Amino acid sequence: MGLGKIIASVFLSIPFILIIILLIIGTSIYQTALYPEVYQKALSEADAYGFLEKQISPQQQLIPVEEFSSGEKIKESINALLEGTLAYVRSDAEEVSFDLSISDEDIKGFFLEQAEQFETCSPGQQPFEGEEIKCRPVEVPPEIFLDQVLERKNFSLNNFSSVDLITVWDPKNNRENLRVGVTKFRQGLYMGLGIIIIFIGILVLIHKNKKSVMRWTGINFAIASIIILATSFLIKNLLFSRIHLEFEVLKDVLNMVVQEITTKFTFYGTIVLIAGLMLLGINFFIKKKD
């Protein structure tokens, strides 16, 4: 093999190895972080559902919500939210919504309580100043005052019987940007696979010798896989242990999700390592035969 071919192969190997590493990392993240099963398993094993039940129990809610009325319903609602949101982000669903059901009596009771808390108007003071509510007239009962406020603002209590939590959290539809970003990310993974095939083709053009092509491809696969396996080990055993979060249950959930991702690192890294060693082994035996 000429010196020029060796130099060309070495320079080609640097981006070749980098693309393999990025492809493994990207595929691992896509197949874990964008699917609900990973989070559902982590939430269950960390008893996060029980933690959330205490945080959003009916006693903690200003207005009782049907979807959060019991531990089982909280779990079902969170799972449905994860499934719907991630399906939308992956472009497996065209729309995403998460409706919360509130009874008419609870809604009216909540707004009536707010009306009762308004200060009563002093003599000569107007209850409204433009759109702003200043006070409640002394002679007007809270129930009638509530009706006046709703009529003035063109609101109906029926509008609050079902609230889409997604539009409340994201009124500017930033989720669409996330969806587009994930689509580009997925396209990048396909592009990376195509670049690897192109690099192998370039090796064929450089060497025009199947033994040399297998040797360089095998070496690149082996180096990339070793880097991936080492990265997976460091993340599992060193990096994550230094992260400190306020809630221990949140750290447990995050830890389990990261463990799932690094398990994918190890899985694909091992496959690439085996492929690299097989190519080197075949190359060795072909040389011995020759």
Listed range (13-22, 90-99, 186-195) with the worst mean pLDDT:
90-99
Cα Dmax for the chain: 109
| pTM assigned to the model | 0.74
Q: What is the pLDDT of residue 50?
A: 80
For residue 196, report the phi and psi dihedrals to the nearest 5 degrees.
-60, -45
Copy the structure tokens of residue 206: 């450089």
pLDDT for 71 beyond 80:
no
Copy the structure tokens of residue 125: 């003071």
Q: Summarize pLDDT for 250-278 with one digit per residue, the tens.
A: 778 888 888 899 999 999 999 999 999 99
DSSP string, 256-283: HHHHHHHHHHHHHHHHHHHHHHHHHHHH
DSSP letter for 124, please.
T
User: Per residue in 12-30, is it b (16+ CB within 10 Å) or e — as a string?
Assistant: bbeebbebbbebbbebbeb
pLDDT for 161 beyond 50:
yes
On average, the pLDDT of the chain sits at 83
Listed range (34-38, 236-240, 258-262, 282-286) with the worst mean pLDDT:
236-240
Instruction: Using alpha carbons, select from 188, 189, 213 the residue that is nearest to residue 268.
Output: 189
